[in-house]
Amino acid sequence: MWSDKPRPEPRGLARCSESGLSVSITAREVLLDRSGAIGRDAPKFGALRKTATGISGLDEVTGGGLPSGRPTLVCGPAGCGKTLMAMEFLVRGIVEFDEPGVFVAFEETIADLRSNVASLGFDLARLEADGHLVLDHVDVLHGDMEETGDWDLDGLLMRLGAAIDAVGAKRVVIDTIETLFGAFTNTAILRAELARLFAFLKERSVTAVITAERGDGSLTRHGIEEYVSDCVIVLDHRVTEQTSIRRLRILKYRGSFHGTNEYPFLIGEAGISVLPITSLSLRHNVSTERMPTGISRLDLMLGDGGFFKGSTVHVSGTSGTGKTTLAAQFCDATCARGERVMFFAFDESQDEIIRNMSSVGIHLRQWVDTGLLQFQCFRPSLLGLEAHLFAVHKFVDAFDPSVVVMDPISDFISLGTSADVSALLTRQVDFLKARGVTSLFTSLTTSREPTSVERQMTSLIDTWLLVKTLEGNGEHNRVLYVLKARGMANSNQIREFLLTDHGIELSDVYVGPQGVLTGSARQAQEAKEQADGAAWLEELEQRRVNLDRRRQSVDAQTATLWREFDDESDIVKRLLSHGSTGADDRAGQRVAQGLLRGADVAEQSVADGDSDDEIDA
C-alpha cells in the first residue's frame, strides 16, 4: 500500500452522478482560447489552461497540450499506440514538467508495462522509486464479479485517490477502462459509476488520459466518449500500398482551437513523434545571407553570391547531367567554410560518392574525416515515407547541419501516391526551413516535362536549377540554367556545364543563327571569333592610320584658310584706318569747294551737317 492514508470519498459526488448529470459546464470551460493559431502555446489570461504533453509534435497540434485538470480520451484500434502515448504523456510530465503521475492499467501487468517502455528509454522502476510515479494494475477478475444487487465503484475510486495522494499526481492515465464492461453485467450501474469516476478526476484537478478501443461505427466500443467530452484524440493505423502509417487526429477539443488534419505519427526510438504538416504556418525567419555555391560563375548567375541561407534549392535534370557533382561541390564549399553538411544519398553509398567525386577534383573524404560532412545512405524503400521523414528529423536534430543534401528525391515517388510524396516533401521543406537549414534536393527527370511531383514541388522551391544535355554535332554536352530563383536578380542565360579535374566550371554558350552551340562546336565558334577578331583589329589599325592622314590633311587645309583669313584681316584693318582720314579729306574738300563757290560759311556748314547726317544714316 502507498504511504499516505487516502482521504475518504466525498459522497456528494455520487448523488450528482446518479442523477445523470455527468458533466457540468462551468463558466471557465466555455471560455475560448482566442490566441488562435496552432503552435502558439502561451494562452491568454482567462483562456483554457493547457498541460503540455512533451510528446514531439502533439503540443503543436493541440495548440499547447491537453486541457489541464480534465480528462482526454485517446481512442483507436488495437495496436495503434494508445497505451504508449498515454505512458509517454506521464513520463514526460514527470521528467520534463515535474508533474507526478499515476498509471492505472486494466490490461497490462506492471512488469509488462515496465518492460514495454524500457525500449524507449523510460525507466519506470526508477520513477516509482523516486516517488514520482505510481503504476497500479487493476485486475478486473473477469467472470469473478457475480453481481448480487446494487454496487458502486468506491473501491476503484479510493484506490485511484490513494495513488494520486501518494505522489501528489497531476497526471493520471487510465488504460483501458472499458475492460470493466467485460467484468460487470449491470451496465446501467457501471455507466453511472464511470460518470462518477470522471467527475472525481475533475474534482481532483488531474489532467487525465483515458484510453479506449475503437468500436464499430462509434468512437469507442462502449461509448466512453459520452463521459469524456473535453478533448478526444483519435489514433489510427492504416496500411496503404503495403505501407503502414499511423495517424492522429484531434476530433474534438472543447474551448480551444486545434489542428483538424490527420497527422502522421511514428513510434520511434525516443517515443512518439507527431508530424504536423502545417505546423510552421509559413512563419520562417528569412535570411538575406548568401551561401556560395562553390561555383563562382553560378554565384554570379544567381545575382550576388549564391543561394539564400535557409532556402530550398532543387537541381533537376536527366541522367548523367552532373546533379550529384553540383551537390558535392556545394558541400565541399560549405565544409571549406567550416560549416556542417549532411548528405542523404538514396542511390549511392558514401564510398561511391567520395570516389566518384574525387575524379572531378572534389575531395570529400577530408570533410568526412574532420566531421564536417556526414553521409546517410539508405534506400528510401527501407523506411517508407513517414519513417523516412522521422529519420531525417532525427539525423538533422542530432547533427545540426547548415546544409542538407538529398540525392535524389525522385526516388521517393515509388514510395507512395503523389499526394503522399508531396505531403512528405512539404513537411520536409518546412522542417528544414524552420531550422534555417539550406537544403539542396536533386531529382532525376526522364523527359523535358517536369514530373507531377516536381510540379507540386515548384511552390516549395526557392531556387530551381536545371541541368540537361544538348545533343548535336556528334556529341552531347551539359548545360545549366536557372529556372527559378526567388528574390534574386538571376541570369536568364544558358551556361555550359563542364566537369573538369577541379570541379564544375560554367562557361558561356554560343548563341547564333544555328542555335545554342556547346562543346566542340562552341570551341570552333570561339576560334572563328578569335580569327574574326584579328581581322577586325587590322581593319581598326588601318582606320586609325587613315584617320591620322585625314587629320594631317585637315590641319593643312586649316592652315591655308587661316593664312587667307589673316590676309583678309590685314586688308580690312588697313581699309578701316584709311577710311577715317578720307572723311576729314572730304570735309576739307567741301570747305574748299564752298570757298571756291563763295558760299556763306555758316549756312554752308549747317547744310553740310545735315547732308553729313544723311550720309551717316
Which positions touch other proteins (CB under 8 A)?
1, 5-6, 8-9, 11, 138-141, 144-156, 158-159, 162, 184
Dihedral angle sign, alpha carbons of residues 413, 419, 424, 430: positive
Which residue, 103 or 431, has its beta carbon nearer to other proteins?
Answer: 103
Nearest to 88 by CA among 233, 201, 187: 233
Burial 516-537 (b: 16+ CB within 10 A, else e): bbbbebbeebeeeeeeeeeeee
Which residue, 140 or 251, has its beta carbon nearer to other proteins?
Answer: 140
Which residue, 42 or 141, has its beta carbon nearer to other proteins?
Answer: 141
Q: Are 291 and 308 in contact (CB under 8 A)?
A: yes
Tell me the closest approach of the beta carbon of residue 4 to other proteins, in angstroms: 10
Q: Are 212 and 245 in contact (CB under 8 A)?
A: no
Which residue, 146 or 269, has its beta carbon nearer to other proteins?
Answer: 146
> Residue 24 has what DSSP assignment?
-
> And the C-alpha cell for 238?
492504416
Which residue, 184 or 399, has its beta carbon nearer to other proteins?
Answer: 184
Which residue, 52 or 104, has its beta carbon nearer to other proteins?
Answer: 104
Tell me the closest approach of the beta carbon of residue 177 to other proteins, in angstroms: 11
Tell me the closest approach of the beta carbon of residue 23 to other proteins, in angstroms: 23
Tell me the closest approach of the beta carbon of residue 7 to other proteins, in angstroms: 9
Q: Are 406 and 331 in contact (CB under 8 A)?
A: no
**Gap between the Cα atoms of 108 and 330, Å rounded:** 53
Residue type, 559: A
Burial 582-592 (b: 16+ CB within 10 A, else e): eeeeeeeebee
Q: How many CB atoms lie within 10 A of CB 186?
A: 14
Tell me the closest approach of the beta carbon of residue 160 to other proteins, in angstroms: 10
Which residue, 6 or 223, has its beta carbon nearer to other proteins?
Answer: 6
Tell me the closest approach of the beta carbon of residue 22 to other proteins, in angstroms: 19
Tell me the closest approach of the beta carbon of residue 204 to other proteins, in angstroms: 16
Contacts of 19 (CB under 8 A, 6+ apart): none
| Total residue count of the chain as it appears in this document | 617
Tell me the closest approach of the beta carbon of residue 224 to other proteins, in angstroms: 17
Which residue, 3 or 492, has its beta carbon nearer to other proteins?
Answer: 3
Cis before 513? omega within 30: no
Q: Please, is 600 exposed, middle or buried when counting C-beta atoms within 10 Å of its C-beta (0-12, 13-18, 19+)?
A: exposed
